[in-house]
């Protein structure tokens, strides 16, 4: 790897790291040609340190493979973006997903990385110690850098003990605002929900059809609780109480593993459920994240755009973090539709930024979001450019990504 | 602030930010002269967003001031390094302390920073959104940068709901290894202890005398549990069971707030308790952090050095994170003692690095630890230098800190 990168840098040839190919913002497009380095055969799980609750893996290891491997240790890796992505890719886009409200994102769950720099030099960004004040936080610099500073070849990840008890719950609401209010209160009360996901009526309808389920076609929260049996019951009851106060219900909860897996599989399959609503279509997923206090307003304003749209749009999100996605089911060959979708996305991004949020909660910048970074970061974008220049002066690492294309890299 | 920094940069005059002055590694020494900027009058708490569980403060706000201000909101800021440091200083050294095992360090608890760069440009490193994948993680770059890249002027911090119930506990052990084994098992079982602190017999003896307490003079765990009444009781019982298995006890726990405050005040006063053992002396505090699986061995080897020392040394630590401190009570005027202490510290650091740990868990690098960074980071130190060069080419921001002094900055 070191040799490839060094050679490419010497010849000013772009290098693009490739994992599962499940990123959503054009991260792996070779917009300036170059060498695409497939890391999927670097798939070895190198060291499980059960006592330290960490594991060191090669970058091409996939999320499901890792948890399958860990199943007998009583430990698991929680970050779950839905897709069976590689760990290197998840680190590169600072991925998160349904569990982030409890366990954090890749930002919190990567302890250390091995990275090949454009010079060919291989560094280890940190030790395995749980905390350190020994200089700049190189780990967090490379997490989310989307292959633009170097190629991640190994990652040391935090692991967690499999909870003694897990329960899941589903709760429909009359209005989306009621569901959001329930989430906000649960977070404020510090109830340690492991997952708290919102699907609007359209998403529920698509999921029911695709996954042959018969949930109410209404704004619905999917929840999961982790802890001791006692704690799980206590948490479920607390959230059920909040939901009832806000007009939600019935609050159906279960500790049955099969039922739980079916529920989350349906949640994760929403992309395919949306695709199935319109043959030949594509799903354009948006990704804003706002402070939770602004979530209800942001969703309410967004729903006005959704209602006016000429195509099917559903809403689903990791609302405990203030992060939600629209699934716009569009025909990529229809220029008018694509333009309409782009406008909805732009309006959504600027609404989120005005609310103190971000244009991307977990999908990353890639090509798709680069035009919003100046509005989001202001002069901070110049700092990012200076860091890019410092570590990749030849501009060979995944060029054209993150930074707006007007800038020479 | 912007004007001062810009002027200094233009005239190649060093700028050193000053907060509470409680840092431990010479962070605020003006080793190359220059302007010391006192931030303590920038002490306004700007915005509490109770719904979002965050607060924006000026950098000179102190930890205790913040929690006093928040007391009626039902929220608190958990990071507690002992000293009543400023938030800007705590962010700059990536501080942590007794609560980190449950709530994380400044790394996890700073959402965003306002920073004045050497150009005089003022940036905001991130939005208030709980998570984002929008480019490089500038927040984490400045957290722990010790004033060497810019001056932190505001910080947006995560807050937490005050737990419904808090209980504390004290448990003596016959041997330090038994206490460490209890900690490791509690962490591995995922028991969400809020604090789990180890003091050795020498530390207990100093604490008893100074704080007029009558704890057993034995290796002792100080613990705290946060949660619902039920959860707190459950956690206490679980840890009491583990302690008993390892020969510890009696496990005395209490939900009395006064008793709890006395206990933690005594823990925080250990520095003064040590000073009181020898008039005119100074306490040299070490700060290694290792993976918890290596903690028992690392402490056992270190105790051999402690036994051979010609002065009083106690051991105390945030052992849930693998972080522990020696308190070496030395006479700064005695060159032989200072050399002996330096040797003990060096041996300790290299022992920690060999165990996959770090030379500083929470105190930062400053002047004192810079000589160890090459051993800890290898080529990663060159990456840090490149970042420093990129953002502070004139080398005016807190020069001489973090980087070994052989390098021109």
Please report, for the domain that includes residue B153, its CATH number.
Answer: 3.30.465.10
| Residues B33 and B129 reside in one and the same domain | yes
- Does A282 fall in a domain? yes
d(CA B408, CA B400): 9
From the list B122, B125, B373, which residue is nearest A135 (CB)? Answer: B373
- Residue A204 CB contacts under 8 Å (≥ 6 apart), including other chains: A215, A216, A217, A218, A219, A220
For residue B14, give its domain range.
Answer: 2-161
d(CA B44, CA A160): 38
The rounded percent of chain B whose pLDDT value lies above 70 is: 99
Q: Do A323 and B131 touch (CB under 8 A)?
A: yes
d(CA B225, CA B263): 14
- Per DSSP, B111 falls in state E
| Residues A258 and A279 reside in one and the same domain | no
Nearest to A91 by CA among A29, A150, A50: A150
User: Coil, strand or helix: which one is B328?
Assistant: strand
- Does A318 fall in a domain? yes
d(CA B301, CA B96): 25
Q: Do A121 and B189 touch (CB under 8 A)?
A: no
- Residue A198 CB contacts under 8 Å (≥ 6 apart), including other chains: A176, A179, A180, A183, A219, A220, A221, A222, A315, A316, A317, A319, A324
Q: Which of residues 189-248 of A touch B (CB under 8 A)?
A: 189-190, 228, 230-231, 234
Nearest to A385 by CA among A32, A111, A145: A145
Strands annotated E in B80-164? 110-116, 122-124, 151-158, 160-161
- Does B129 fall in a domain? yes
Distance from CA of B33 to the nearest CA of A (A): 22
Nearest to A148 by CA among A35, A16, A32: A16
The residue among A211, A243, A269 that closes a domain is A269
Nearest to B371 by CA among A131, A138, A132, A135: A135
Q: Do A134 and B231 touch (CB under 8 A)?
A: no
From the list B289, B292, B377, which residue is nearest A51 (CB)? Answer: B292
| Residues A264 and A342 reside in one and the same domain | no
- Residue B44 CB contacts under 8 Å (≥ 6 apart), including other chains: B57, B58, B61
| Residues A58 and A150 reside in one and the same domain | yes
| CATH code (residue A207) | 3.30.70.2190
The residue among B308, B332, B354 that closes a domain is B354
- Does B119 fall in a domain? yes
From the list B51, B122, B184, which residue is nearest A184 (CB)? Answer: B51
- How many other CB atoms sit within 10 Å of the CB of residue A233? 17
What pLDDT, on a 0 to 100 scale, did the predictor assign at position A259? 86
| CATH code (residue B341) | 3.30.70.2740
What pLDDT, on a 0 to 100 scale, did the predictor assign at position A265? 87
Q: Model confidence over B22-77: pLDDT tens digits?
A: 999 999 999 999 999 999 999 999 999 999 999 999 999 999 999 999 999 999 99
What pLDDT, on a 0 to 100 scale, did the predictor assign at position A69? 98
**B192 to chain A: closest CA residue:** A227
- Does A335 fall in a domain? yes
When the pLDDT of each residue in chain B is averaged and rounded to a whole number, the result is 95
The residue among A161, A179, A213 that closes a domain is A161
**A373 to chain B: closest CA residue:** B134
| Residues A120 and A169 reside in one and the same domain | no
| Residues A75 and A111 reside in one and the same domain | yes
**pTM of this structure:** 0.96
| Residues B69 and B215 reside in one and the same domain | no
What pLDDT, on a 0 to 100 scale, did the predictor assign at position A408? 41
| Residues B233 and B286 reside in one and the same domain | no
Q: Model confidence over B149-194: pLDDT tens digits?
A: 999 999 999 999 999 899 999 999 999 999 999 998 998 888 889 9
Low-confidence ranges of chain A (pLDDT < 50): 407-409
Pairing of strands A54-58, A45-49: antiparallel
d(CA A207, CA B403): 55
Domain count, chain A: 3
Q: Do A133 and B383 touch (CB under 8 A)?
A: no
- Does A398 fall in a domain? no
Reported as half-sphere exposure (CB side, CA atoms, 13 A), residue B279 has a value of 0
Q: Model confidence over B78-89: pLDDT tens digits?
A: 999 999 999 999
A320 φ, ψ (degrees, to nearest 5): -60, -30
Q: What is the mean pLDDT of residues B336-341?
A: 98
Work out the angle between the directed axes of helices B257-268 and B201-211 (0-180°, nearest 10).
Answer: 110
| Residues B38 and B66 reside in one and the same domain | yes
Q: Which of residues 275-334 of B touch A (CB under 8 A)?
A: 287, 289-293, 321-323
SS3 percent helix, strand, coil of chain A, rounded to 5, is 40, 20, 40
Residue B125: list chain A partners with CB under 8 A.
380
Interior/surface letters B142-152, b for 16+ CB within 10 angstroms, e for the rest: bbbbbbbbbbb
Distance from CA of A55 to the nearest CA of B (A): 12
- Does B407 fall in a domain? no
Q: Model confidence over B222-233: pLDDT tens digits?
A: 999 998 888 899
The reply to whether B387 touches chain A by the CB within 8 Å rule is yes
- Residue B41 CB contacts under 8 Å (≥ 6 apart), including other chains: B60
| Residues B79 and B193 reside in one and the same domain | no
- How many other CB atoms sit within 10 Å of the CB of residue B342? 14
What pLDDT, on a 0 to 100 scale, did the predictor assign at position A407? 44
Q: What is the mean pLDDT of residues B125-146?
A: 98
| Residues B130 and B72 reside in one and the same domain | yes
B234 contacts A228 by C-beta, under 8 angstroms = yes
Q: Which of residues 247-286 of A touch B (CB under 8 A)?
A: none
From the list B93, B163, B384, which residue is nearest A133 (CB)? Answer: B93
d(CA A33, CA A14): 7
DSSP A364-387: --TTTTGGGHHHHHTTHHHHHHHH
The reply to whether B357 touches chain A by the CB within 8 Å rule is yes
- Does A51 fall in a domain? yes
- Model confidence at B406, pLDDT cuts 50, 70, 90, reads low
Give which of A130, A137, A357 to mutate to test B binding, by max B Cβ within 10 Å: A130
d(CA A307, CA B372): 60
| Residues B69 and B202 reside in one and the same domain | no
């Amino acid at each position: 790897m070191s040799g490839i990168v060094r050679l490419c840098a010497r010849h000013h040839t772009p290098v693009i790291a490739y994992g599962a190919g499940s990123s959503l913002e054009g991260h792996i497009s070779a917009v300036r040609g170059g060498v695409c380095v497939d890391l999927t055969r670097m798939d070895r799980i190198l060291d499980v340190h059960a006592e330290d609750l960490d594991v060191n893996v090669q970058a091409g290891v996939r999320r499901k493979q890792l948890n399958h491997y860990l199943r007998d240790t009583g430990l698991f890796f929680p970050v779950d973006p839905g897709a069976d992505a590689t760990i290197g890719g998840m680190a590169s886009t600072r991925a998160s997903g349904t569990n982030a409200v409890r366990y954090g994102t890749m930002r919190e769950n990567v302890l250390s990385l091995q990275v090949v720099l454009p010079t060919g030099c291989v560094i280890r960004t940190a030790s395995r110690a749980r905390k350190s004040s020994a200089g700049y936080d190189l780990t967090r610099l490379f997490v989310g850098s989307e292959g633009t500073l170097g190629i991640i070849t190994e990652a040391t990840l935090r692991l967690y003990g499999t909870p003694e008890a897990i329960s899941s719950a589903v709760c429909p609401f009359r209005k989306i605002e009621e569901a959001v209010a329930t989430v906000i209160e649960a977070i404020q009360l510090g109830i340690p929900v492991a997952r708290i996901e919102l699907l609007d009526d359209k998403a529920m309808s698509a999921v029911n059809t695709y996954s042959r389920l018969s949930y109410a076609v209404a704004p619905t929260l999917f929840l999961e609780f982790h802890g001791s049996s006692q704690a799980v019951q206590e948490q479920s009851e607390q959230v059920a109480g909040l939901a009832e106060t806000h007009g939600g219900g019935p609050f159906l909860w279960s500790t049955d593993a099969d039922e739980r897996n079916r529920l989350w599989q349906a949640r994760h399959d929403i992309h395919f459920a949306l695709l199935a609503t319109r043959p030949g279509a594509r799903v354009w997923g948006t990704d804003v994240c706002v402070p939770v206090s602004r979530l209800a307003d942001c969703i309410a304003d967004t729903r006005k755009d959704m209602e006016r749209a000429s195509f099917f749009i559903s809403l689903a999100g990791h609302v405990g973090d203030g992060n939600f996605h629209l699934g716009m089911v569009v025909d990529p060959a229809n220029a008018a539709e694509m333009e309409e979708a782009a406008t909805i996305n732009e309006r959504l991004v600027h609404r989120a930024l005005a609310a103190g949020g971000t244009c991307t909660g977990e999908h990353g910048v890639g090509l798709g979001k680069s035009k919003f970074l100046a509005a989001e970061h202001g002069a901070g974008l110049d700092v990012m450019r200076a860091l890019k220049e410092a570590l990749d002066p030849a501009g060979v690492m995944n060029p054209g990504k993150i930074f707006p294309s007007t800038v020479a890299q």
